Structure 1
């Protein structure tokens, strides 16, 4: 088990999310899915195993059994019994040790994975925590001091003796560009107002969405009906300050949505923090597909190599 001594700012149990949008349930899951997948690969887990998603300030955890742990994502500072704990590497931990995760100067989130995967409340096929709905994970809430997190027993294994290439790390601020695709609601005026300029991420940012500080002219249609939302949708509320939707956003909404962030850049969106500067750059569907295929191929090669490492130890 892991005993929570200090919970951090907002630490939740997350996996790759749930497929229940037809029921009006957000997909949820890790805001930086490649970080989750690579963290799980580093400790020999399945890609979607549940892990801790750390936001801005991390927890302090006491390890109650020997295990294998990794921390991937934004460059958080971390120590194991007071000694530096490396990111993007599987590390053997022993019962009685204390892992303390601090803060990060860039990005917003990291994933802490344990070999065997962490357990929690499963809802609609996922252990992911939905904070607004109050289900999944540890009863739909963030970690608290005194919580205990169990993982499934696995055969002992030596950690891979390598770091993952920095090329696989999700880009973090303070300046990022998000590739976006126009929707049928886009007009030439909205595209000109929203793309090619820098916006500032406001303090109104959480797992539902990131609101930008600067306003653009927002169309108003009192007859507009509620339409489906997806993570990455760029909504324009009446005040004109765009909202970029994240994994916990609702499945439907009534605001105009002229743009949607390309899937390849959703992890970058998940790493935005207040004060970051973000530029929206329009791309074609073919360009978005090509970028996603290239990124996915790189992640899968790394996952396959790490699976081979652990398979070799079982042989």
Structure 2
């Protein structure tokens, strides 16, 4: 499929602080692209500029052939948006908000379906001011989909949702993608990004520091795995140091840790079996997207870039 969103050389500056610097990416129709990065890395500014909610200082933006800065009415018909900071009048009821947005977007699905899809049926007659944080979040996502968008931007979609509600939200977003809608997902949850995203773009200090599939990012930025198990009796495990791929063997009490590369679990399990050791809790810990993310960003918030400074 062709690109739904094309961004090239995007830059946004506030005073002498560069919030977004030379950001480029594409999102295909029916693709979920995730934006990861520390607070202040430029994620929200990027998606707001792409939607035309903020005016970029420089760069090219194309949403299905239209630039939001020059053809805002058409782009608004194509885009759905759930912003990080959103609000409605406290007294408006859930069903009233959905019906109002539906009237403004007659091409979209019946608002009653969105009410049920996002688990808001029990809150149908609840005023916005009386909703919990998680219920408000679900309402905002439902409102983002009310116009049957071709591209939807979700900024911290599952913040405030309990684990069960998060899983439901993931399934619904995956269903949105299956209908051919492009999704740009801003999130701090690594499990969410790994589960949903076809590709990920990592931002730090307003710049793209890595792109790729979750598996590609993990493979490029992490190395090896760790096998753990419980062993009783005296040490007697030095033979594991000679197992191919083993880089480190350590033991604290009866807890054993073997670090290395390659098919480590299979090799360690074979060596243990040969020596008549059969630990019941033998397990492997593989590198995760969170490990790759921390390696890319240093695990700390980036310092803001100053104009003209490198």
| TM exceeding 0.5 | no
Q: Which TM class, normalised by the smaller chain length?
A: under 0.3
Tell me the TM-score normalized by structure 2. 0.24
* Structure whose alpha-carbon radius of gyration is higher: 2
Tell me the TM-score normalized by structure 1. 0.24
